Amino acid sequence: MTKKTAVDLGTEPISKLIIRQSVPASIGILVMSLNILVDTIFVGNWIGSIAIAAINIVLPVSFFIAALGMSIGIGGASIISRALGAKNKEKALSTFGNQITLTILLISVFVFVGLFFKDNIILAFGGKGDIFDPAKIYYTIVLYGVPFLGLSMVGNNVIRAEGNPKFAMYAMMVPAIGNLIFDYIFINLLDYGMAGAAWATTGSNILGFCYAFWYFFLNKKTVLNINWSHLRIKWKVISEIGSLGFVTLARQAVVSVTYLFMNNILFDIGGEVSVTSYAIVGRMLMFALFPVLGVTQGFLPIAGYNYGAEQYDRVRLSINTAIKYAAILATIVFVLLMVFPESITKMFTQDPEVVKETPYAMRWVFAATPIIALQLIGAAYFQAIGKAKPALLLTLTRQGFFFIPLILILPNFYGELGVWMSFPISDILSTIVTGYFLNKEIKSDLIKKTTTTN
């Protein structure tokens, strides 16, 4: 079944492929996002609103370390998709084996450093005042499970790269559902508080790793049947994984830096209430955009496989179709968030100050949502075809080149409003830049190669 599925990436109608790849990816992201959302609701209602702020302090640190796995997964997946499209299975196997080795080595080092300097890191990311102690409890326990999360992310991206979106969806659903069950047991039944929330997250990461291990080593659905020889480091493969994976790692690094600035700026302006509001809005950013991110994830293997197979007309069609579908879904998300921000906020907490401030922030943050499809698909395209430099630059445009400078400048003139205004302004500017470079690439590369091959 899997062998046929990989070939289908180069033969089935693009619109059908986009749907077949994107729906499982969207469902997986939805369940994972719901997990984060419900986890925050549980924490806010069972522990308190200050616990939401504490988790928000820890997220950028644990996410950055876990992003090592994600970056290695996505970088290697791009290589695997193109290798399978070019019928080079040995390169695909070698890439996957090196992904596993590299993930274990790098994440182990970063976890050790993260635990050794934990007090300084928590303070640097805004864990001040009443937020510090619960943040430290959560941070310490969660870091124990981050290596399992990193390996799970590698597995998830590789499963999708070989054309098995349903199993990639399951790989996201297993830890998400497990986390909710663990939340109920550790927080509600056993009353472990912040430690319970942290152990629930760590336990769910271990479940995700167990599923990925089962998929690749204990069942026969995969074409990537690696052996010990594939785990041996090959520097040429590592270099290619690193150049493409660095795009994702840089994006997550910028996200972590963004959290650092946001938490500190908002704490100085509005204290714990503003930090909590940002935490709620941040959860909605992870949750509400799940269908758009699903289309982006589904698009990657299709573009990569067909580019590797030199079917450039299908690559162009996949770009246009993915942008169209993602834009429609983004507009639906925008309408819902503009209409129901108060109701959404009250799901997380009944704190009157937080309920008053958060809907206002939410409307600003999501104001430019309908146009983000072009930015996401455009940046993903360059990564899918193995062009690391433009992929990196376009990935960094929104938060690195525009958003961070804006949140450092605008609050000086508009206070907290300046923080929230930075979101739609950076979305608009980054979309314009991405659209320009994507259009240029299509004309200079895809159209030219289509003419040559025909």
Asked if residue 270 has pLDDT above 60, the reply is yes
Asked if residue 281 has pLDDT above 80, the reply is yes
Q: What percent of the chain has pLDDT over 90?
A: 16
Q: Tell me the range of 84-93, 140-149, 283-292, 417-426 where mean pLDDT is highest.
A: 417-426
Give the pLDDT of residue 13: 85
450 pLDDT band, cuts 50/70/90, is low
**Does residue 404 contact residue 424 with C-beta atoms inside 8 Å?**
no
**Long-range contact set of residues 433-441: C-beta below 8 Å, sequence gap at least 24:** 433/394, 433/397, 434/374, 434/375, 434/378, 434/379, 434/394, 434/397, 435/374, 435/375, 435/378, 437/378, 437/390, 437/394, 438/319, 438/374, 438/378, 438/381, 441/381, 441/382, 441/390
* Rounded-to-integer distance, Cα 221 and Cα 217, Å: 10
Asked if residue 110 has pLDDT above 70, the reply is yes
Task: Render pLDDT for 84-95 as a digit per residue (tens, 0 to 9).
Answer: 777 888 888 888
* Rounded-to-integer distance, Cα 56 and Cα 255, Å: 12
Q: What is the DSSP letter of 219?
A: S
**Does residue 314 contact residue 14 with C-beta atoms inside 8 Å?**
yes
* Rounded-to-integer distance, Cα 235 and Cα 254, Å: 27
pTM (two decimals)? 0.68
Give the pLDDT of residue 409: 94
Phi and psi torsions of 336, nearest 5°: -65, -40
